[in-house]
Structure 1
Amino acid sequence: MLGSLDCLHWPWTTCPSAWHGQFTRGDKTHPTVILEAVASQDLWIWHAFFGAPGSINDINVLNMSPLFDGFCNGSAPDCPFQVNGTTYKYGYYLVDGIYPEYAVLVKSLTCPGDAKRMKFKVAQERARKDVERAFGVLKKRWQILENPARPRSVDKLSRIMYACIILHNMIIEDQGKAICQYVENEEVPSIPPIELGSPPYVARRREVRNNQKHHEIRADLAEHIYRLQNMDLNMPPQDDSEEYSD
C-alpha cells in the first residue's frame, strides 16, 4: 500500500464574484479550493495537488492531478509485491467509493456478503482514515488552514498550502515519527521518462486503468486479511508466568 488518497475542500472567503460558479459546489454552499493528497500511516503527505476549483468532484480532480504520471511514463520505479500467491506490478492507494476501479486504487465493498468480505471492508476503511487524520492534523497545526482563506489569488493560496504541507512533513521527520528516513547523500538513479503518447506509455496507462486487476487485487487482499486474522485467532496463548517469577 502506497498510502490513502482523498480530497480536502478549503473554503475561500474572498473568491471573486465572477468565479463563484466555478468554485462552488451544491453541497458546500460557498466557494472552495480542493487539495488532493496521499498520506501514509505516519501522517506523512507523499503527494499533494492543490488548486482545483471546488465545483468538481474527486474523480475530476484525479484526472487533473499528476498522481499517475510516474506510473505511466516510467519515471517512478515499479514496486512489485505478492499477495495470496499473485504478483502485482504496481503499488496501490486506498480510496473511497467515488473513485474509479483502477488497478492502483483499492476501494471498499458496499455490500459485503460474507465474513471474509466484511473483514476486508473493516480493514480497508480503518486504514483509509490515515489521510483524514492527516487533514485534521494539518488544519489543527496551522490555524490559517482552519479558517476560510482570505487571499484573492489562487497562486497565493497554493503557496500557503504547499508551505504548510512541507512544514508538516518536516515536523514529522524531526520528531522521528516518519516511516522512511531521509538520507541526504543517497544517490537516486535517474530513470528517463517514456515519451508521452508512445506505445509503452499507452500500455502502462492501460495497465494502471485496468478494471479487472482492480477486482483481482481486492479479492486477493480480502483472502490475505481473512487468513491472517484466522491465524492470529488460532495461535495458542503465551505463558507469561516466567516473566513475573521474580
Structure 2
Amino acid sequence: MFADYFVEVPRSPATVFRRRFRIRRPLFLRIVNALSSRYEYFQLHTNATGKIGLSPLQKCTVVVRQLTYEGTTDMFDEYLNVIEMTGRECLKNFCRGVRETFRDTYLWKLTSADCQFLLDLHGRTHNFPGILGSIDCMHWEWMNCPTTWRGQFTTKFKGTHPTVILEAIAD
C-alpha cells in the first residue's frame, strides 16, 4: 500500500488514488498528519515484544476505504492487515478526531449570512444566481452490473436489481 500511493514516486498516479479513495492525496495526507500530531492513537507504536503496530496511514486508509465503499470493518483484512475490531476502533477514533480537529475550520453550521454569501459569490462567479443545496437523488438500475459485484449494489429497498445512487448537488 505504501509503495502504491505514499512514496515520493508512487506506483499508482494521483488519479487512481482519487478514484479509489474518493479524496485527493494531499487532503488525505493533511488529515493523517493532523490526526497523528494531535492524537496518540494515530501515532506509530511498538508493543512489548518490539513488534511495530499499524501506521497512521494504515489506520486512516482503513477508515477512508470503509467510508468510501460503505463496507464492513473487516472488508480490507487481506490488503491492509487490519482485523475487524481494529477497523471499528479506527473508524471511531477517526470520526471523533476529524470532528474535533477540523470543527472550527470546516464543520460549522451555516448561518443565513454564510448562505447569502455563497449565493452572491456563485451569482457573481457563474452568472447563475440562486443555486444552493441538493437538487435531486435517484436510484439508477445498473443493467450490466458484473456478476461478482451484484450483491454489493443490490438492496432490499429496490428489489433484486443492482442500482447506483445518482445525486445532483450544487454548492
Which TM class, normalised by the smaller chain length? 0.3 to 0.5
Structure showing the higher strand proportion among its residues:
1
Q: Which structure has more helix as a fraction of its residues?
A: 2
If asked which structure has higher relative contact order (CA below 8 Å, sep 6+), I would say 1
